[in-house]
Amino acid sequence: MTAPTGEAPDVRPRHDVPPPAPAARALRIVLASYACDPSRGTEPGMGWAWAEALARRGHTVELLTRPHGGNTEHIGRRIEALGAVGRRIRTHVVPTPPRPWWVRVLPGFLRAQALEFVHYDGWQRRALAHARANGLDRADLVHHVSYGSLVGGSALRRLGPPLVFGPVGGGQTAPHSHRRWLGPAYFQEMVRELLWVRGMSLRPTCRATLREAALVLTTNRDTARRARRLGRADPRLVLSDGVPDALLREPRREPPEARRRPPTVLWVGRLTAIKAPELALRAFAHLSARVPGARLVVLGDGPLRGDLERLTERLGVAGSVCFRGRLPWKETLGAYDDADVLLFTSLRDSFGVQNLEAWARGLPVVHLDHQGVGDFSAPGCAAPVPLGDPADLPQRLAHALAGVLTDEEVLRRSAEAGPRWARQHTWTSKAELAERLYEAVLARR
């Protein structure tokens, strides 16, 4: 099990929206959120967003989390800023266990993953003991949201109240057929698949969680298939990511002649092999021959940046590619609004929140048609590209990009369809869906 990595640790705005209509009845919910930080994106931000969204609906949230990177201070400040809503969130900080001696003898690429697994597994046992000691076994239900990993299971299934597990991913793997785009990282991906996805999912903790949970939510069909193989007959597909209501943008009505920038492709993500940024660069090189003047903006940083910058020189597109690194959230939002299309090339991802953010801003997305983004591709605002033959994948991605950039009707429809689809996945909408699921679970009980 690999720990999720936040792409931008900058403080993201948590907009104070008018409170929605309260729930039919207020519940006391134990929220297991190992990665939780209101100042972060990706999984830590998601772990917090569940707590805030449920509290806004009038529920009492018993938030179980760990101390990590100053998150407890960020949580405290956010709770204070929320006023009455924040007083419905009761924070329980449970430390992770110390590092065992044997982790130090493992090879480097395994050491970090093994240490993260030991911390997470030990934290869950400590969280269960803490919950019992503090009377959380009298809550209405338990909702495990982080880590959003199938193989980690949830020790809180033994607390007593019914458990809602997920949405979780972790069942997806990089396609073996496209290993050329992973390079040397392919070996590490195979180790991950054998040890974590196939091996660790056979642990009693994982199987017991799937067997005993009142409800299992998976964020992509690959993980749902893994859950069924492990004995869970009825996993439900629910997107784990969400966006603030205020991120939704009104349809852009800028006429083509008013634009004073070249056709712009945006790529957002960490510069690691699994995100396949090399594939994006090669696709753009083909695109630049079809759409003169096009440019590519790359947001994010990582170990491959130097190699990628040199690759742009070899491809002859260095003058058209801009590596901007990791940006503050306001600048990231501006990059979405200044682009014409988002390109998403990740070969293994539960979903990819940058797709949802792009759709919320009315930006069409060209993406590989597999895993989470393939399962939740926005109708009318996406161009899914089949994996197909890895040799001609850059050309096919370029063809899809050119089709979007040169068709004003496609851009106009996307500006309307994207925010409309993303509205179904705001945190307000997700909390309302969670309430319906909770009520169904409690009714069965």
Q: What is the pLDDT of residues 22-54, one digit of tens each?
A: 666 899 999 999 999 999 888 999 999 999 999
Q: Which CATH superfamily is domain 246-424 in?
A: Glycogen Phosphorylase B; (3.40.50.2000)
The topology under which CATH files domain 28-242+426-444 is: Rossmann fold (3.40.50)
Q: Are 131 and 30 in contact (CB under 8 A)?
A: yes
Fold match flag (28-242+426-444 vs 246-424): yes
**Distance, CA of 197 to CA of 199 (rounded, Å):** 6
Which positions of the chain have pLDDT values less than 50? 1-18
pLDDT at 109: 64
- Map out the domains of the chain as residue ranges: 28-242+426-444, 246-424
Question: In this predicted structure, what is the pLDDT of residue 7?
Answer: 39
Taking the C-alpha atoms of residue 163 and residue 445, their distance in angstroms, rounded to an integer, is: 11
Contact 38, 65 (CB under 8 A): no
Helices (H), 302-407: 305-315, 329-337, 353-360, 371-375, 393-405
**Across the beta sheet with 321-325, what order do the strands follow?**
321-325, 295-299, 264-268, 341-344, 365-368, 382-385
Q: Can you give the pTM of this predicted structure?
A: 0.89
Asked whether 140 and 212 are in contact (CB, 8 A), the reply is no
Spatial distance between the Cα atoms of 20 and 429, rounded to a whole number of angstroms:
10
DSSP assignment letter at 77: H
- E strand segments, 58-185: 60-65, 89-93, 141-146, 163-168
